[in-house]
């Protein structure tokens, strides 16, 4: 009786762990965001298991049924189309309900798009904030205004048809001197990471047909000089106290 969250490759089908393969083989059933997409992976791995749909449009209606199945003694594996379930994908509701019902939940380590994009960007990776997809309409402007003051490196997911608009808004709210990177088709044949200022990246993609999944990484706001001095002084005091 258990729920496993199993990360799946974000492109290259070889990016899956041996443990993930074993869990998928041992599970009584697999929940998939898109059964067609997951079916391709399972066929590649030589795994034949009952495959059921679990996506953003049916998760509220199916959560309790799935919880009841696990409570009856079944082991269920949840996968998304690509990457780690519950990271900008369905999964949170099911995990929450399982925990409320004292059902063991375990998430395996594995692929997720924002980590390689962050490391590839060349921007500071010691402190960052993952924003996922920004609101399309309601609350978008407010969120951008808030993020304009964010000092950590920022990570966003975006679709190809909204990329240029989003980059232009970043330049508007964050400033045209901000450094950024856009990674697309990570782990695939046409993987690409474009780095530069926001206007430079906009100019590059304005001349391209944009395809594939996209991760945008944006430099955080430079701390004010006075604040940097205060932060260093505070850190020195804390170190002295530790000693």
| Domain residue ranges of the chain, discontinuous segments joined by + | 2-107, 114-218
Q: pTM for the full model?
A: 0.88
Least Cα distance to 191 among 116, 123, 128 occurs for 116
For the cut 60, the answer to whether the pLDDT of residue 243 exceeds it is: no
pLDDT for the residue numbered 60: 92
Tokens in use for 56?
A: 């953003």
Three-state DSSP class for 157?
strand
For the cut 90, the answer to whether the pLDDT of residue 112 exceeds it is: yes
Q: How wide is the angle at C-alpha 139 spanned by C-alphas 80 and 221, nearest 5°?
A: 90
Which CATH number among 3.30.300.180, 3.40.1010.10, 3.40.50.1100, 3.30.465.10 corresponds to the domain 2-107?
Answer: 3.40.1010.10
Which of the four pLDDT bands, split at 50, 70 and 90, describes residue 225?
Answer: confident
Q: pLDDT digit string (tens) for 201-218?
A: 999 999 999 998 899 999
Contact predicate 7/111, CB 8 Å = yes
Three-state DSSP class for 80?
coil
Residue with tokens 């599970």: 27
Q: Which architecture does CATH list for 114-218?
A: 2-Layer Sandwich (3.30)
In total, the chain counts a number of residues equal to 243
Q: pLDDT digit string (tens) for 149-165?
A: 999 999 999 999 999 99
Q: Name the DSSP letter for residue 192.
A: E
């Amino acid at each position: 009786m258990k729920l496993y969250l199993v990360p799946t490759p974000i492109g290259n089908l070889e990016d899956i762990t041996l443990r993930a393969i074993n869990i998928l083989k041992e599970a009584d059933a697999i929940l998939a965001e898109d059964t067609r997409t997951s079916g391709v992976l399972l066929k590649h791995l030589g795994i034949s298991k009952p495959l059921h749909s679990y996506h953003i449009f049916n998760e509220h209606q199916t959560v309790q049924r799935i919880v009841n199945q696990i409570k009856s003694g079944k082991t269920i594996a949840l996968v998304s189309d690509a990457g780690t379930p519950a990271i900008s994908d369905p999964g949170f509701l099911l995990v929450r309900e399982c925990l409320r019902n004292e059902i063991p939940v375990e998430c395996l380590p594995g692929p997720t798009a924002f980590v390689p994009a962050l490391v590839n960007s060349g921007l500071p990776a010691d402190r960052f904030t993952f924003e996922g997809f920004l609101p399309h309409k309601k609350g978008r402007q407010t969120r951008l205004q808030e993020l304009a003051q964010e000092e950590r490196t920022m990570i966003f997911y975006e679709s190809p048809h909204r990329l240029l608009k989003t980059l232009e808004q970043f330049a508007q709210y964050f400033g045209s001197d901000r450094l950024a990177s856009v990674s697309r088709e990570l782990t695939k044949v046409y993987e690409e990471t474009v780095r530069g200022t926001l206007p430079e990246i906009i100019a590059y993609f304005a001349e391209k047909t944009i395809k594939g999944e996209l991760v945008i990484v944006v430099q955080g706001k430079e701390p004010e000089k006075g604040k940097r001095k205060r932060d260093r002084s505070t850190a020195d005091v804390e170190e002295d106290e530790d000693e």
